[in-house]
Structure 1
């Protein structure tokens, strides 16, 4: 019984430990700063005010503003204004952000996009851009518009000058040579707009996006496989992939509820069955002890009575008969000695037992009676036997 009870307790500890570990890696649910938007914040990102520390990887903290926007604050940023998160692609590990003042080039030129100390890097669509300051006198001629492949930056332009930007060296040289524009700065920046990659530039490069990427933690393959990425345990930075059975599978939170809903009743049944079996085993052993106590006298050693054979004078007192040629006994009897199974022969000496009148060879019955005080045939004890 003690062994069964110990097994039940051990099973309970193992089950609670496994569910505690499961809870540690699955406590996080997707979150959104704006309930009207379908994009969600998930690992490695987290919102500290709404999610626990194990819901996100270090350095990926986000926040929400009063308008339902998602904000990102870079640790080395010179500006007190955080950037606005416009989109996150978890399968490619890309992040698009914008300037709340709608002037991304200003942050680029003022080195306000310092990624030092952050887990982010420049996006894969980064390019080298040339910012130029052109006077309106040269740009104001309708017959001399800015060439294609360039964009104005209205948030940096003034009353008598216009800031333009281009990523093409030929256009940069043309604007410097023909339009007398002055070079402001040439920088490598991850600028991005919805039509990026189609060979077209926006008319105004002010309110565009900045494209960032991250490599650690690497959850790309997990997301592509339809799983949920998260910490593999309740401590450390090891990351695991928790598959939910494909696109049609149940969410992890639902599976966690099912495990608890089915596991706890199952564990209770197992413990109940363990106690039931232990009770039956205990009752069986009690019954055995009770039966043994009742029948124990029957198995106690009983007194043994030893019966010895007859003494010599008693044996000699039994009558002898010498068999004649006819081999006929005084009383009809078998013609064979019951002890040696040999037929009687003439002149052989026979002895009989008076009580039963059974005949034997004298030598055979004498030897028998010295060891046994009973007749070999009828087992009757002679009256003069000694015990």
Structure 2
């Protein structure tokens, strides 16, 4: 009887979603309004490294300075936010260079190197009003040759003025007479440093500079969501607004059940425990399955609808059968599904990946399409099309005749066609993969972190040119983001950077891809898995530890296919670079651009990295 009561309560929670159930969507919780100084921070703004980026609109990340003021970076220049007016989407800001709490000339300094230009963005626009004025800043002014009245506008401390060879003068642009006389006596003509300021009655021009000017912002409207009890956010991956509610994510507003629905649920609960148990077994199973599948398809459909401009073709499932000749030529199979060889109408050979299931909320499928539709690089596999029809999902790629790198590096004396997989070929592949990663990290419109770099995901064309594939775990972020937030570990065991599965090692960033790349290159060098490597008949240790000891003691590496000194130099260079890449702390690893530079540079200029404790035999995987 007791069990029946518990089950009935669970049923009531599932159907009515009252506060008794106490379930709150985690993204709703994560996007609580925060405070910075005396400012309330909520959508479209979010506090970087304190709130998740999905709580705000792209470009609206702010930081709190040491004085507790919110700071917004516009055109690489910090601006202090004095007031935010959410009701009419405006805010008052001032250039941080003029926002000192003490504006006396003894304490107030400006650097000539600071960028003082006005922000120029699509999402923020200046508010121009009739009574507003623009302020000009002049550099390197000789006070002795200026009219006496103009020196009243001098700003900057005397020490800074002496170092830079002159004073700084700030003038209202409409003070034509003074501007004309000053411009002849200053080393650099006036630049508009603040526009639309209100002329200060007390405190002079410095007070006007500190008070700043008004900006309007342009972002998705939050009112329908907030008025329904939700919290606003933005999905950067699929690039559309979403409303976080206590139960789940909604498109624009939360669905609030009316009084009749709640009353009917309570009456239904009173009909009897026996009926509740039966209904629980049927409804919970159906509801869970329906919600899971429906939410997946809803998200994928929403993404495809909003990205109808994608430069790739959408195929029907019947077209996929025709392209692959009813899936006759199978190339391989993995946890994701199967890959088949096919041919398009124009004669091009393709590889068709048929996905066995839509994992999570469809993230794998969305990530693959979203990431690869943004890329175009010689070392990135080309996505030519996709299929999303009911439960059928497929991705169409260019065909790579030499398969994956994994199939080659573990075969002794591997030969394909008339070409052997020698040291030069491995070296070219290593550089090609690094250039592909560099493009993902720096060359795209958005920064893409792959999170699954390994030999299996490096494909080779007919000329052994490497191409990075499989973007199912990728993370898309803005160009300025270097640190990302992910829920749980992602990647393949043996290649996952330490910080991805434990934040105690550091933050997750583009350096996590560098670690995976380093582990992969070590496998290419050793032509074996990095888990263990034989040293002699009776002793086995972790391969990176073994090869690091060889380099330190300047011993011969004794690896396969090293035929001459040139081969030895290439392998040594790849080894040193990869050991730098797999340093335990992300801050110690090079960026992927630095990796390319090191691989293309001279071996004798490379220093041996320290041996991280991750390499100790007792702690090795």
- TM-score in terms of structure 1 length: 0.44
Higher Cα Rg, which structure: 1
Higher relative contact order, chain-length normalized (CA < 8 Å, sep 6+): 1
Q: Which structure is higher in helix share?
A: 2
